Amino acid sequence: PDKAENGEPYQRRRAAGPPLPEGPPAFPAPRDGAPAAGSSSWRRIMLMILAITIHNIPEGLAVGVGFGAVGKSASATFQSARNLAIGIGIQNFPEGLAVSLPLRGAGFSTWKAFWYGQLSGMVEPLAGALGAFAVALAEPLLPYALGFAAGAMVYVVMDDIIPEAQTSGNGKLASWTSILGFVVMMSLDVGLG
């Protein structure tokens, strides 16, 4: 069976316009093995890095507001802010991998891919400091910012990651690890309050 029916190659076959070339692009690859800037693979990698980086800004704001609001509201406690930071910190590990692994697979060196993964998360502590200092402004905007961040990640997952997992034959693994991640985060939510 053609596993590409669920993924991007199938969507491209159905689209109007000239067919895409079957082979690799005609231009040479860069020296470190990274994909060329115009390739479809590079576009998907950059879209995912951008979405994860943008997604980290409201997460940092959430943690900053959580700690900045301690003592200013009866419901804001250090324990709830700490639990929020732990939950967001745990889910930042797979986000860093989601940046680093595609870069490594595209030909970047291990250290370069690792540092780009780290850089995508560096916006979070900066946004956290901003959130802690601007609690009065950030608190009413936080639900909208978190909704935007969640929407960006859902879009990337639905548009790129799930079809890519299906076309490469890793659909079941992707489904089971998604379920495992959901169970872990829900357990933390219930267990830590």
DSSP letter for each residue of 37-75: TTSHHHHHHHHHHHHHHHHHHHHHHHHHHHHHTBTTBSS
- pLDDT score, position 6: 47
**Average pLDDT of 36-57?**
78
- Beta-bridge partner residues of 70: 73
Q: Is residue 99 part of a domain?
A: yes
What is the number of structural domains in the chain?
Answer: 1
- pLDDT score, position 22: 54
Residue ranges making up the domain that contains 46: 40-192
pLDDT band at 187 (very low <50, low <70, confident <90, very high): confident
- pLDDT score, position 18: 52
Q: Is residue 157 part of a domain?
A: yes
Residue % of the chain over a pLDDT of 90: 1
Q: Is residue 73 part of a domain?
A: yes
Q: Is residue 11 part of a domain?
A: no
Q: Is residue 35 part of a domain?
A: no
The better pLDDT of the pair 65, 139 is held by: 65
**Structure-block tokens of residue 63:** 């943690």
The better pLDDT of the pair 164, 126 is held by: 126
Torsion, Cα of 119, 120, 121, 123 (10° steps): 90
Query: How many whole angstroms separate alpha carbon 67 and alpha carbon 109?
Result: 37
Residue in 87, 88, 63, 61 with CA at minimum distance from that of residue 76:
63
- pLDDT score, position 11: 46
Q: Is residue 31 part of a domain?
A: no
What residue type is 46 in one-letter code? M
Number of H helices, E strands in the chain: 8, 0
- Say if CB 124 and CB 92 are below 8 A apart: yes
Q: Is residue 25 part of a domain?
A: no
**Average pLDDT of 152-169?**
76
Q: Is residue 68 part of a domain?
A: yes
